[in-house]
Amino acid sequence: MNQELANIAKIYSIGSHQELSSYLLGKSKDTLIGALVDLLTDVY
């Protein structure tokens, strides 16, 4: 799991909705796509 995905999971699990939204809005589209691709490909 990459560090970006780990940070998203951490904020999702213990942070507030506002904190997660702010974190995700601060990321580039390429960064978010990369994290989702890692999530999908690590599972399978």
pLDDT, block means (10 residues), the chain with 44 residues:
88 96 95 90 68
Query: What is the three-class DSSP state of 16?
Result: coil
Residue 20 near residue 12 (C-beta atoms within 8 A): yes
- CA dist 14 and 27 (Å) reads 19
Q: Which residue has the tokens 């702010």?
A: 22
* Per-domain boundaries in the chain: 3-43
At residue 43, the pLDDT reads 59
DSSP state, residue 11: H
pTM of the model: 0.78
Residue 19 near residue 11 (C-beta atoms within 8 A): yes
At residue 41, the pLDDT reads 87
Query: Under 8 Å CB-to-CB from 18, ≥6 apart: which residues?
Result: none
